Amino acid sequence: MEEKLIEKIMEEVIKKVGAPNIEVARKEKKLCGLTEFVGTGRGDTIGLVIANVDSSVHEAMKLDKKYRSIGIIGGRTGAGPQIMAADEAVKATNTEILAIELPRDTKGGAGHGSLIIFGAEDVADARRAVEVALKELERTFGDVYGNEAGHLEFQYTARASQACEKAFNAELGKSFGLLVGAPAAIGVVLADTAVKAANVDVISYSSPASGTSFTNEVILTFSGDSGAVRQALIAAREVGIKLLGTLGSEPVTDTVPYI
Amino acid sequence: MEEKLIEKIMEEVIKKVGAPNIEVARKEKKLCGLTEFVGTGRGDTIGLVIANVDSSVHEAMKLDKKYRSIGIIGGRTGAGPQIMAADEAVKATNTEILAIELPRDTKGGAGHGSLIIFGAEDVADARRAVEVALKELERTFGDVYGNEAGHLEFQYTARASQACEKAFNAELGKSFGLLVGAPAAIGVVLADTAVKAANVDVISYSSPASGTSFTNEVILTFSGDSGAVRQALIAAREVGIKLLGTLGSEPVTDTVPYI
Amino acid sequence: MEEKLIEKIMEEVIKKVGAPNIEVARKEKKLCGLTEFVGTGRGDTIGLVIANVDSSVHEAMKLDKKYRSIGIIGGRTGAGPQIMAADEAVKATNTEILAIELPRDTKGGAGHGSLIIFGAEDVADARRAVEVALKELERTFGDVYGNEAGHLEFQYTARASQACEKAFNAELGKSFGLLVGAPAAIGVVLADTAVKAANVDVISYSSPASGTSFTNEVILTFSGDSGAVRQALIAAREVGIKLLGTLGSEPVTDTVPYI
């Protein structure tokens, strides 16, 4: 009975104070009756469309004039998962990535949130891109591991597209890998581990003072042949889970690893 | 009995871990016996005065030399409410706004905290400004709506004063409106909704990468005739509550809406 | 029995949602079997070494080429404590401070986390520096006081070394003091209090918009003769505890004050 009570109270608490690295299961899909609303996804991510952005807002947002219809995905927790999901969405639809912005967020966690804007000539394309991205989140959150002290993230694509290019200077059409360690100290070791494990080329190294929005992360991006990129990520993942585990409980993913 | 126990534990928990978007009721006004202390207000806001700032600190703070007495309000949660409250305070007192700074805060939430400094030639004026601002917070937190996934904010003044000018480039003496949506994706739709709902002029558009301290917010400020500004805010508020609600529980205010 | 249940649930809650300003007692030292791992410390701090940093990562990190071995300490909560601990570590070992970076963190709190990198020609030196720094954290967290609304920090060294120089422009070999007040409004009064209490020279004043990573802090650093620096800190500490206490419970340290 005590167990049950604790569980019940934990639910109440998480509802009220939010749970930094724990995805609260969304039991029921909510609808809100607005045409702008597309859906929600992991990481407190919402997907939205605007068929015809007001010209003064369009200008204030400094968007490419070509696109009046925009799709929007943005979440409290996670940048990598949303960017990788957007990358699949631009491949699958007639849209372009107009903006990727990274707030300092994760609801008290160590990382970023995200705001990604797709441009389209037709609102149906914008909507489709948002739908694809929201669906892809289930997969791209697969190699995000968290515990009470931090998080780890590993992302891979065999063929980088516009979102990876815009956010990380990835080369279009090439294999691309990304790793994140938080707290940042762990990320330093993961970066070193990854490049030692396989023949990959470093694209960028970001840290709290440079290339992040002052997150407590080190982020390494790299390219190479498909097998090498994956091998580098797998080696870093193994080390990361051990290191983050020394600061708390065993780091876990809330969904299914894909790498 | 279980209900009562849960309630009791929730109190303990909130006391210990803090409650991001929930204002913990301050049952008793605390005094600390220091002449610098003026009072406290919503959003973990404290109000302070210094009668005669030490010259080396005054210089390090880069304050206008004219003012040796300063009033200070600063909170963990909220920038808009404190700025709007300060705006009323400068109207009502013989003070000037010397500085408005916006930390990335809200105690794990998606937005800003605040640090606002009033200058005065007489410490009584500085103190009065702080008192007015703390009192105004009750009103200016009126249209702040939160749930576990984010927050919304709507502010209006018929006559913008120095704080709105300094923080948002508002034109002095004119009607002024401000809206915030967090996560930022929601703010994009609110911005579009507001300008489509009434004939208002956009002053500024801020987003995670530009114009904020990397918060997960989109902030739109605008002017227009008084009725239009309010109409724009009311339309955005209606949409915002629906959209934020899809990510969690019904967004609520802890005090009384004023718009 | 109710008391015991509350305590038990609090443990569960803190384990799950993390505790912003409360150090969760680490009952058992964890080992992870990796040669890179040195240990952990207060503030979710991890200590690591890399014997021979991969050249491409070394370059991406923009480290001084002279040092192939690095020591790393980084925490979620705290910058001052880790910097002061690193300062003792460079004094005690044959290492140099290569980088100090300050994420916006503290797990939903108002301040920074940290990432500090030691360079050494020999990995044993890097490891020793990390060991010393982790051990010093017990002391340097001594005058960190927190409650649910914010935190205060007071640091002192009779002889500043490289870490204080790099992070705060302290003069090598001189007495050095540092104070932090969060929310920032409190820090303004502490800065004024400190310089009025003793004959000290202001080195730097940092605030949310300048010199911090958008934390909700005011940080003052200063020098002077040893007694004056301590006197300034003691005066500010007394005022700070009173002011922060008006926003919540009595601010406490989790370890033993050293000033």
How does pLDDT run across B120-132, given as a tens digit for each residue? 999 999 999 999 9
CA distance A141 to B33: 52
- Whether residues B115 and C216 touch (CB distance < 8 A) is answered with yes
Contacts of B104 in chain C (CB under 8 A): 104, 213-216
Q: What is the least distance, in Å, from the CA of C191 to any CA of chain A?
A: 25
Nearest to B44 among C19, C243, C247 (CB): C247
Q: Could you tell me if A195 lies within 8 Å of chain C, comparing CB atoms?
A: yes
| pLDDT at residue C28 in the model | 47
Angle, CA of A171, A173 and A176, to the nearest 5°: 60
Residues 86-125 (C) with a CB less than 8 A from some CB of A: 101-105, 107-108, 113, 115, 117
**Do strands A218-223 and A201-206 pair parallel, antiparallel, or not at all (unpaired)?**
antiparallel
| pLDDT at residue C60 in the model | 96
Q: What is the least distance, in Å, from the CA of A23 to any CA of chain C?
A: 12
CA distance A242 to B10: 34
| pLDDT at residue A97 in the model | 98
What is the pLDDT averaged over residues C219-243?
98
Query: Which candidate in A1, A13, A16, A27 is best for mutational testing of the B interface (most B CBs within 10 A)?
Result: A16
Query: Which candidate in B4, B35, B36 is best for mutational testing of the C interface (most C CBs within 10 A)?
Result: B36
Structure confidence by residue, pLDDT tens digits, B126-156: 999 999 999 999 999 999 999 999 999 999 9
A170: CB partners within 8 A, 6+ apart: A160, A164, A176, A203, A221, A223
CA distance C203 to B63: 17
Helix axes B2-17, A2-17, angle to 10 degrees: 50
Query: Which candidate in A223, A246, A250, A254 is best for mutational testing of the C interface (most C CBs within 10 A)?
Result: A246
Q: What is the least distance, in Å, from the CA of A199 to any CA of chain C?
A: 11
Query: Could you say which architecture CATH assigns to the domain B13-245?
Result: 2-Layer Sandwich (3.30)
- Whether residues B247 and A9 touch (CB distance < 8 A) is answered with no
Residues 32-61 (A) with a CB less than 8 A from some CB of B: 32-34, 36-37, 40, 44-48, 50, 53-54, 56-57, 59-61
C205: CB partners within 8 A, 6+ apart: B57, B60, B61, C191, C211, C218, C219, C220
Cβ contacts from B onto C, under 8 A? 166
Chain A, nearest residue to B205 by Cα: A60
What is the pLDDT averaged over residues C122-151?
98
Amino acid in position A234: I
Phi, psi values for residue C144, rounded to 5°:
-105, 120
| pLDDT at residue C30 in the model | 72
Q: If you search the block for the tokens 């080992």, which residue do you land on?
A: C31
- Whether residues B243 and A9 touch (CB distance < 8 A) is answered with no
**Which of 3.30.70.1710, 2.130.10.10, 3.30.465.10, 3.40.50.360 would CATH assign to domain C6-245?**
3.30.70.1710
For residue A147, what are its two tokens?
A: 């515990």
CA distance B21 to C71: 39
Burial A57-73 (b: 16+ CB within 10 A, else e): bbebbebeeebbbbbbb
Chain B, nearest residue to A24 by Cα: B248
Q: Is pLDDT at B15 greater than 60 in this prediction?
A: no
Q: How far is CA A85 from CA A32, B28, B215, B246, C224, in A?
A: 24, 49, 22, 20, 55
Contacts of C243 in chain B (CB under 8 A): 32, 34, 36-37, 46, 48
Nearest to A44 among B22, B183, B242 (CB): B183
Binding partners of C (≥3 Cβ pairs within 8 A): A, B
| pLDDT at residue A168 in the model | 96
| pLDDT at residue B19 in the model | 46
B43: CB partners within 8 A, 6+ apart: B23, B75, B76, B77, B78, B81, B82, B113, B137, B141
**DSSP state for residue C107 in the 8-state scheme:** T
- Whether residues B18 and C20 touch (CB distance < 8 A) is answered with yes
What is the pLDDT averaged over residues C90-103?
98
Structure confidence by residue, pLDDT tens digits, A179-207: 999 999 999 999 999 999 999 999 999 99
Structure confidence by residue, pLDDT tens digits, B153-166: 999 999 999 999 99
Amino acid in position B163: A
Q: What is the least distance, in Å, from the CA of C55 to any CA of chain A?
A: 9
**DSSP state for residue A41 in the 8-state scheme:** E
Structure confidence by residue, pLDDT tens digits, C178-196: 999 999 999 999 999 999 9
Contacts of B202 in chain A (CB under 8 A): 56-57, 59-60
Contacts of C210 in chain B (CB under 8 A): 101
> Domains of chain A: which residue ranges?
13-245
**DSSP state for residue C104 in the 8-state scheme:** B
Contact of C159 with C173, CB cutoff 8 Å:
yes
In whole angstroms, what separates CA A124 from the centre of its chain?
Answer: 24
Contacts of B40 in chain C (CB under 8 A): 246-247
- Whether residues A48 and B185 touch (CB distance < 8 A) is answered with yes
- Whether residues C183 and B20 touch (CB distance < 8 A) is answered with no
Count of CA atoms in the C-beta half-sphere (13 A) of C96: 12
Contact of C147 with C21, CB cutoff 8 Å:
yes
**DSSP state for residue A25 in the 8-state scheme:** P
Q: What percent of chain B has pLDDT over 70?
A: 89
| pLDDT at residue A6 in the model | 58
| pLDDT at residue B65 in the model | 87
Q: What is the least distance, in Å, from the CA of B116 to any CA of chain C?
A: 8
Q: Could you tell me if A186 lies within 8 Å of chain C, comparing CB atoms?
A: yes
Higher pLDDT, B246 or A10: B246
Alpha helices by DSSP H, listed for B46-154, are: 55-60, 80-92, 123-140
Phi, psi values for residue C215, rounded to 5°:
-75, 165
Helix axes C226-245, C184-197, angle to 10 degrees: 140
CA distance C130 to C39: 8
- Whether residues C46 and A243 touch (CB distance < 8 A) is answered with yes
Q: Is pLDDT at C6 greater than 90 in this prediction?
A: no
What is the residue-averaged pLDDT of chain B?
92
End-to-end CA separation in angstroms for chain C: 40
Give the largest Cα separation in chain A, rounded: 62
Q: What is the least distance, in Å, from the CA of C32 to any CA of chain B?
A: 29
Query: Which candidate in C212, C216, C238 is best for mutational testing of the B interface (most B CBs within 10 A)?
Result: C216
